[in-house]
C-alpha cells in the first residue's frame, strides 16, 4: 500500500470481540497503519486506517 493509502477495516461485532478487534488494530499499527477514524457501522467494529 502506498503512503497515504486508506483501508476500511470492519469486523462483525457478533463474531469478533472488542478485545480481539483492538489486538488486530495493534498489529495494523505495527505494520505502519494509523487509525484516522472510527466510523459507525451497525453491529460492527470498524476503523479507517491510513498508511504512514
Strands of 1-52, DSSP E: 6-12, 33-37, 44-51
Q: What is the value of pTM for the model shown?
A: 0.92
Residue 46 lies in a domain: yes
Going residue by residue through the chain, which has 52 residues, state the pLDDT in tens, using 9 for 90 and above: 999 999 999 999 999 999 999 999 999 999 999 999 999 999 999 999 999 9
Residue 5's pLDDT is 98
Residue 16's pLDDT is 97
Residue 47 lies in a domain: yes
Residues 5 and 51: beta-carbon distance below 8 Å: yes
Query: Which residues make beta-bridge pairs with 45?
Result: 11
Residue 25 lies in a domain: yes
Length of the chain, in residues:
52
Residue 1 lies in a domain: no
Residue 52's pLDDT is 92
Which residue, 17, 3, 9, is CA-closest to 39? 9
- Number of domains the chain is built from: 1
Domain of residue 16, residue span: 6-51
Amino acid at each position: 500500500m502506498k503512503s497515504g493509502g486508506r483501508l476500511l477495516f470492519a469486523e462483525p461485532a457478533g463474531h469478533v470481540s472488542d478485545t480481539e478487534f483492538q489486538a488486530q488494530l495493534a498489529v495494523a499499527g505495527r505494520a505502519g497503519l494509523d487509525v484516522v477514524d472510527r466510523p459507525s457501522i451497525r453491529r460492527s467494529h470498524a476503523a479507517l486506517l491510513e498508511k504512514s
